[in-house]
Structure 1
Amino acid sequence: MAKKLLLGLWLSLLACSISVLFWQNEFKYSLPTPIPKNYHDVAMGSKISLGQCCVEDGKPVFIHFFNPDCPCSRFNVPHVSGLIKKYGDKINFKIVVLNKQKSFTIEEIQKKFDAKIPVYFDDGIAEKCGVFSTPQAVLIDPSHNLYYRGNYNKTRYCTNADSNYAQMAIDSLLSKTNSPSFNALALRAYGCSLPKCTK
């Protein structure tokens, strides 16, 4: 009888541990990121003024909002690197690191993406673009209007080519077609909340 009770307790503890690990490492990141109380929405088409960060040169600007401590941000590094390699001659790519807990160097971030692109540590850029989670993509047209703000993909690992939302926005902007209409999975923020890597 005691063995059955101990076995039952052990299995219950094991099931609870697995559930907690699943929540911490997977499920909580599949839920929408809570909107902060002081959040100020920035509408699509709004003029985005980023000063020295984005000098007007006739090219669109793509900003990758990145937190090295966020699992979701780490999982999409290969996808973002691919976008930089594919579109780097047509678009000005920039990375904004949003992490106040640790300090990183520009070189460390550039090495992660295998790209010598500008890196900023200014959370004011996120506020101006209406970003409150990582990873998030922002695409600004050559006139400095917000063209796209949202997720890279509906999957955390950016493996579903049919939902490469950020890439679809880039293709649409470069082909000068109307801005594509995206569903809630593209535009509702998922991932790690700011300013800390929490949900």
Structure 2
Amino acid sequence: MKYRAVIPILLIIIGFISAIAILWDQEFKNYVPVGDNSDLAVNSKMDLDFLKEGRPSYLHFFSEECTNARVNINHINRIITKYGSHVNFYIVNSSSIDAVSLRNKYDIPSSVQIVNDATATLTKSLHVKSLPYALIANSEQRLFFGGNYNNQNGLCGSGEIIWSSPAVALKFLINQQQPPIFPSYQLNFVGCGV
């Protein structure tokens, strides 16, 4: 008789632990920093063959295997629409989805160049450690800014992405101003590790 009361309690405890494990796997682990951005040297030359000279470049790092990156790419078009006449946009795709499928699935404008990086070799060579992430280069291809899309509560949504640190830094670059000082949670690498 004593053991009958213990079984429901054990089931509740197991259910609670399972729910926490699922939340960790799906959500919480994406907000734990996987590194800082000290490897990114602002004003260093970004010698990338695909960057077009004469205009600033915005590199958005993406992988379809990353939940945060999939959510984020649905909102990135707001930044592209707002600044597309001033900036060359690139999506560095480190997932197995091909460029045509990626463009069609996420409604990416034809003006955005998709750079396939299935092995993440380019991503790692640029010292990007998590996704989604953005690097912005000035018109001379020098690194101006590197940051994530988090606000203080997590990943920026549709209404907030225009105020994310990459979008704000881009606005400053277009206005020929130095970027403001952002808090570390907007600069460090959080999300899906590369």
Q: Same fold (TM over 0.5)?
A: yes
Tell whether the 8 Å contact from 1:129 to 1:138 is kept in structure 2 after alignment: no
Determine the structure 1 residue equivalent to 2:193. Answer: 193
- Alignment of 1:93 onto 2:89: yes
Number of the residue aligned with 1:166: 166
Partner Cα separation in structure 2 for residue 49 and residue 62 of structure 1: 14
Equivalent residue, structure 2, for 1:197? none
Report the Cα distance in structure 2 between the residues aligned to 1:119 and 1:165, rounded to whole angstroms. Answer: 22
Over the aligned positions, Cα root-mean-square deviation in angstroms equals: 2.1
The yes-or-no answer on 1:65 pairing with 2:55 is no
TM superposition score normalised by structure 2: 0.87
Q: Which of 99, 112, 116 is 1:106 aligned to?
A: 99
Greater Cα offset, 180-189 or 158-167:
158-167
What residue is the counterpart of 2:34 in the other structure?
33
1:83 has 2:84 as partner: no
The 5 A counterparts of 1:5-24 are 5-24=6-25
TM-superposed CA distance for 1:186, in Å, is: 1.4
Deviates more, 1:12-21 or 1:77-86: 77-86
Q: 2:155 aligns to what?
A: 157
Residue type at the aligned position of 1:30: Y
TM-score (norm 1): 0.85
Q: Of 115, 121, 143, which aligns to 1:120? A: 115
Report % sequence identity: 27
Q: Secondary structure at the match of 2:75?
A: helix
1:130-163 Cα shifts (integer Å, max 9, x gaps): 2121110011000111011110222443137395
- 1:50-61 alignment runs, 5 A limit: 50-51=48-49, 53-56=50-53, 58-61=54-57
Residue by residue over 1:88-121, the C-alpha shift from the partner in whole angstroms, topping out at 9 and shown as x without a partner, is 111100111113xxx2111111123312221112
Which letter maps to 1:178? Q
Q: Please say if residues 81 and 113 of structure 1, whose CA atoms lie closer than 8 Å, have aligned partners that are also in contact.
A: no
Partner SS state of residue 41, structure 1: coil
Structure 2 segments unaligned to the other structure (5+ residues):
none
Q: CA shift at 1:34, angstroms?
A: 4.5
CA distance in 1, matches of 2:147, 2:91: 15
Which whole-Å deviations, capped at 9, do the CAs of 1:30-70 have from their partners, x for residues lacking one? 100147xxx9923111111101x1121x2110011001010
Q: Is the 8 A contact 1:42 1:128 kept in 2?
A: no
Contact 1:59-1:92 at 8 Å conserved across structures: yes
Q: Distance in 1 between matches of 2:126 and 2:106?
A: 22
8 Å contact from structure 1 (residues 133, 189) kept in 2: yes
Residue range with higher mean Cα deviation, 60-69 or 175-184 = 175-184
Q: Measure, in 2, the Cα distance between the counterparts of 1:7 and 1:65.
A: 47
- Give the structure 2 partner of residue 47 of structure 1: 45
User: How big is the shift at 1:3?
Assistant: 2.6
Work out whether residues 92 and 116 of structure 2, in 8 Å CA contact, stay in contact via their aligned partners in 1: yes
Q: 1: distance between equivalents of 2:68 and 2:44? A: 27
One-letter code aligned to 1:131: V
Amino acid at match of 2:73: V
